[in-house]
């Protein structure tokens, strides 16, 4: 079974600075998908970014980018020019194309605080 680990329960960043949230996972599969979700205090889970394992190029969405290291099974999220609205809990998620019809396995989450 796949596992996802987020080793940083809490992180903080100064507004306008850059922060990196770490995520590692364990799998024996070669093809899979990785996601970062944001959960603000409103509870709504919002997709931040998606990475396909067979693509070497790191995904980027505006101020959000990932550092995907397949051999190391690492998938960190970098937030540049942090804004107050980025404050939320961030979840890393793994989805296998082979088992259990696309269910997501989530890490425990990292709470990000943005200081003005």
Partner 1 sequence: DTAVSQTPKYLVTQMGNDKSIKCEQNLGHDTMYWYKQDSKKFLKIMFSYNNKELIINETVPNRFSPKSPDKAHLNLHINSLELGDSAVYFCASSQGRLAKNIQYFGAGTRLSVL
Closer of 103 and 115 to partner 1 (Cβ) = 103
Judged by CB, which is closer to partner 1: 98, or 116? 98
The distance of closest approach from Cβ of residue 16 to partner 1 in the complex, given in angstroms and rounded to an integer, is 27
Rounded Cα–Cα distance for residues 44 and 38 (Å): 8
Q: How far apart are CA 87 and CA 12, in angstroms?
A: 9
| Member of 13, 59, 66, 89 binding partner 1 (CB under 8 A) | 89
Please spell the DSSP secondary structure of 22-89, one letter per residue.
--EEE-S-SS-EEEEEEE-TT---EEEEEEETT--SPPEETTEEEEEETTTTEEEEEE-S--GGG-EE
| One of 8, 27, 58, 104 touching partner 1 (CB under 8 A) | 104
Q: Contact at 8 Å (CB) between 95 and 27?
A: no
User: Of these, 18, 61, 81, 97, which contacts partner 1 (CB under 8 A)?
Assistant: 97
Q: x/- string (CB under 8 A) for partner 1, residues 12-51?
A: --------------------xx---x----xxxxxx--x-
Dihedral pair phi/psi, residue 100, rounded to 5°: 50, 35
Residues near partner 1 (CB under 8 A)? 32-33, 37, 42-47, 50, 52, 89, 91, 95-97, 100-106, 108-109
């Amino acid at each position: 079974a796949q596992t996802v680990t987020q080793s940083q329960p809490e992180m903080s960043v100064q507004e306008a600075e850059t922060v990196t949230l770490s995520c590692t996972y364990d799998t024996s599969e070669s093809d899979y998908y990785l996601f970062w979700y944001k959960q603000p205090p409103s509870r709504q889970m919002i997709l931040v970014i998606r990475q396909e394992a067979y693509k070497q190029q790191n995904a980027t969405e505006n101020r959000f980018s990932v550092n995907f290291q397949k051999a190391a099974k690492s998938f960190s999220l970098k937030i540049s020019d942090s804004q107050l609205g980025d404050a939320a809990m961030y979840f890393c998620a793994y989805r296998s194309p082979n088992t259990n019809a696309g269910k997501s396995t989530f890490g425990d989450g990292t709470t990000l605080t943005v200081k003005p």
